[in-house]
Every structure is written in structure tokens, then in C-alpha cells.
Amino acid sequence: MNKPVIWVHGDCLSPHNPALQEYPDAPAIWVWDDALLEEWQLSLKRIAFIYECLLELPVIIRRGDVAEEILAFAKENNATKVATAESPSPRFESICQQIERSIDLEIFELEPFFDYDGYIDLKRFSRYWKVAEKYVFD
């Protein structure tokens, strides 16, 4: 039986997340990534923005090691797989590998906001937007 849980992450904080769209009745989780929070030193303003986005989504919010929390959530919900949206984040691939050691993982493609093959510093939205606006409003 196909019984998924949804992993919502920072690169698809949208009700149009393809995993949420595909499995609208599946339980969903967001995990505040302790390692990433420590490494990136996110501002309180950015954390509040993310939290406000989460309040509009049907997610359970946890904090800790992302893969461990997702796997625990999947076990609690007797899930047979984890579904999520793709991400360009360097941590995404590592987290996916950890999840796939224990359970099936389905990754949905996202429609890119704009076409760009260069490097963008994803630690700050303003740096991302400075590059993106050149393509979006061209």
C-alpha cells in the first residue's frame, strides 16, 4: 500500500508544493534544521517569515536533525514513503540519502522561477533576488 508522508522544506514553502498537491491527505512535516540554523545564523526576521509561511500549510513543525525527524514522523504515521519537492540546496542530497537508507523517497520536480545556471548565494534572499529580478522582469 502506498502511504506517504510529505517533507516540506525551505525551497518549496507553498500550498502549491507538488508533493502536497499529489497527496493532499497525507501528513506533512517541516523540520527546523538545527545544523543549518547554526551554520547560516539566520536572522530573526527570516525565521519569522518562514514560520508565517508554515502557518499557512498543513504541516507538523519539529526541530532537530532533519533526516532523523522525517524518519521518526514516517514511522509514527506507518508511512511507506516520503514525498518531497526537489531543492538546489547542498544539504538536500545528503538528507535524501539518509532517508533512502530506511524508506522509499519520491522527489517531485519544481517549475523553475527563472532559468539561470550560475551561482547564487542562497543564505540571503536579497542576494538571490538581485540575480532573479534581472530575469523575471526582463
Question: Tens digits of per-residue pLDDT, 52-102?
Answer: 999 999 999 999 999 999 999 999 999 999 999 999 888 899 999 999 999
Domains of the chain: 4-136 (3.40.50.620)
Please tell me the pTM assigned to this model: 0.81
Q: SS3 string of the chain?
A: CCCEEEECCCCCCCCCCHHHHHCCCCCEEEEEEHHHHHHHCCCHHHHHHHHHHHCCCCEEEEEECHHHHHHHHHHHCCCCEEEEECCCCHHHHHHHHHHHCCCEEEEECCCCCCCCCCCCCCCCHHHHHHHHHHHHCC
